Structures are given as structure tokens and as C-alpha cells.
């Protein structure tokens, strides 16, 4: 039987080639985008659909037996049940793309029996590529150089959170509970990768927020392979067999992770009681 990391090397090479080409497709829409709003109030553009179609065509033809979940292709939880399943966000942080900021990316993850085993995230505007395979470490390719990623060993809290209004309303509460030395609000799911690179030591989203499996699959394996830890707000491992995650997310550099979970749970309990 072929060991999983060895088997995944072909998938990794294929995905890196596809995601770089998909980045070119994405950038070609920067000045010609037709922007609409979904029912949930989030943006969707011609670029989302074009990149989605490009990735699906190339991955589905290369790995026809794999499941396939894509934000723009009516995702089904049944696909997540397959032994291998691709999980795609063709344009993460569409808002940044629409508003001309550089926080957008393309994220491709692969599940094996419901667990992330491969992740690739690409920021085409900066030509920065992050990738990881289970058991093989996490890496960034920038300016033609490949560097291994490692979470920071800093014990102080450098917190990054979403720009979402739901979470923004809680920033004062978070400052009072966690006393971070810094707190940055950003769009997109690469906030989890910020912890993997050491730019931050903690990312969290409160249970009032929602993250989807395509936000989490590829980024989780990159974080874990860099030495980080990710759980829900109760400290439980994430369930990648569901499309939506509503129990909060806590992604850290692993230092004091359990203590942070307990601290936040206690603070939330006291907040509700008062």
C-alpha cells in the first residue's frame, strides 16, 4: 500500500499548477467584473464563477473518482463522505477583490476520510503560494524561494479577527478577556495562515459567526503542519463532514491553546449570566 504523503505528491504538483493558472484567470477579471450579492449578503462576481469552472474542469478530469465541494457549485455534504474530496474556495475574500485590496486568494484543500491532508492557498496579485501535505510540513513560495513555515513561539497574544460586523461588535469584549498585545481585523480565510506564518499567534471567530468547510479545509492543514492547533470554541476538533461551522473557531500557535479555550468559555458564560 502506498503511504499517503507519497500518494499525495502527484495531487500537490497538479494542484499547484492548476491554482497558478487559476490565478491568471482571476486577475483577468479585475477590471471587468460584474458584481452581484447572494441571498446571505455576500458578494459574488463573474471571477468567482470563472475560476470555479476552470478549477473544476481541470481537477475533475484528473481525479474523476474524488468528491468535489465548491462554494459556487451547489455544494453537497454527500460529496464530503467520499474517501477523497476536493474542497474549493475559488475566490476567498471576494470583498477585497471587488474593493481593490490585496487580501483575496484561491484556496484548494483535500480531505481523506473526512480529514484535511493537503492544502494550497495562492495570492495571485502578490504571487505568494502556501502549501502543505499531511506529515510533510508547510511551506511558502515567495519571490521564487521556498521557505518552511513555523508558528511563532511568542507567548503573547497577537490576535487577528474577521472584519465581519458580528465579530467587530465584540472587539471590546475580546480585548478585556484576552488582553492581546495587538488586534488586527482582516478579510478572508488566510487569517488562519497568518498564524502558520507567525504573523499572528491567535485567530478566532466567535460562535455568532459562521465559517464554511471551504474556508477551513486547505488552511487547517497548512496551520497544523506549521505546528499550530485549531478547534471549535469548546476545544473539540473540527468536523469536516459538514458544510457550515457555527461553534466558533480558535486557531493558535498551540501555546496554551486549552487554557485559551477555557478562558473564553468562562468569559462567555459570565457574559451571558450578567
Q: What is the pLDDT of residue 169?
A: 63
Q: What is the pLDDT of residue 6?
A: 76
Strand (E) or helix (H) holding 24: helix 4-27
Q: How far is CA 99 from CA 125, 134, 214, in A?
A: 14, 35, 22
Confidence class of residue 42 from pLDDT cuts 50, 70 and 90? low
HEC string for 165-205: HHHHCCHHHHHHHHCCCEEEEECCCCHHHHHHHCCCCEEEE
Task: Name the region of 255 (left: φ>0; alpha: ψ -120 to 50; beta: rest).
Answer: beta
225-255 per-position pLDDT tens digit: 999 999 999 999 999 999 999 999 999 999 9
Residue 64 has a CB neighbour count (10 Å cut-off) of: 8
147-184 per-position pLDDT tens digit: 999 999 999 999 999 876 555 567 888 888 999 999 99
Cell 513561539 -> residue: 153
pLDDT beyond 50 at 2? no
Q: What domains, with CATH codes, occur in the chain?
A: 4-148 (3.30.540.10), 158-273 (3.40.190.80)
Q: What is the pLDDT of residue 40?
A: 59
55-69 per-position pLDDT tens digit: 999 999 999 999 999
Question: Which of 172 and 133 is assigned the larger pLDDT?
Answer: 133
Amino acid at each position: 500500500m502506498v503511504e499517503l504523503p507519497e500518494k499525495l505528491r502527484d495531487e500537490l504538483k497538479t494542484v499547484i499548477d492548476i491554482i497558478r493558472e487559476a490565478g491568471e484567470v482571476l486577475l483577468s477579471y479585475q477590471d471587468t467584473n460584474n458584481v452581484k450579492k447572494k441571498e446571505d449578503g455576500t458578494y459574488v462576481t463573474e471571477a468567482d464563477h470563472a475560476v470555479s469552472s476552470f478549477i473544476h474542469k481541470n481537477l475533475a478530469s484528473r481525479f474523476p473518482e474524488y468528491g468535489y465541494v465548491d462554494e459556487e457549485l451547489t455544494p453537497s455534504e454527500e460529496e464530503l463522505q467520499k474517501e477523497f474530496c476536493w474542497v474549493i474556495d475559488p475566490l476567498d475574500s471576494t470583498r477585497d477583490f471587488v474593493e481593490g485590496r490585496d487580501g483575496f486568494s484561491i484556496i484548494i484543500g483535500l480531505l481523506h476520510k473526512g480529514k484535511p491532508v493537503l492544502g494550497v492557498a495562492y495570492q495571485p496579485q502578490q504571487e505568494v503560494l502556501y502549501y502543505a501535505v499531511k506529515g510533510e510540513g508547510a511551506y511558502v513560495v515567495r519571490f521564487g524561494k521556498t521557505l518552511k513555515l513555523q508558528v511563532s513561539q511568542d507567548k503573547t497574544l497577537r490576535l487577528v479577527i474577521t472584519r465581519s460586523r458580528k465579530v467587530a461588535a465584540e472587539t471590546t469584549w475580546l480585548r478585556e478577556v484576552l488582553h492581546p498585545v495587538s488586534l488586527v481585523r482582516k478579510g478572508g480565510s488566510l487569517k488562519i495562515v497568518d498564524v502558520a506564518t507567525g504573523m499572528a499567534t491567535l485567530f478566532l471567530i466567535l460562535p455568532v459567526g459562521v465559517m464554511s468547510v471551504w474556508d477551513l479545509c486547505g488552511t487547517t492543514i497548512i496551520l497544523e503542519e506549521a505546528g499550530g492547533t485549531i478547534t471549535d470554541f469548546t476545544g473539540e476538533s473540527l468536523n469536516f463532514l459538514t458544510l457550515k461551522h457555527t461553534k466558533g473557531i480558535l486557531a493558535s500557535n498551540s501555546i496554551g491553546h486549552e487554557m485559551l479555550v477555557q478562558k473564553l468559555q468562562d468569559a462567555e458564560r459570565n457574559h451571558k449570566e450578567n
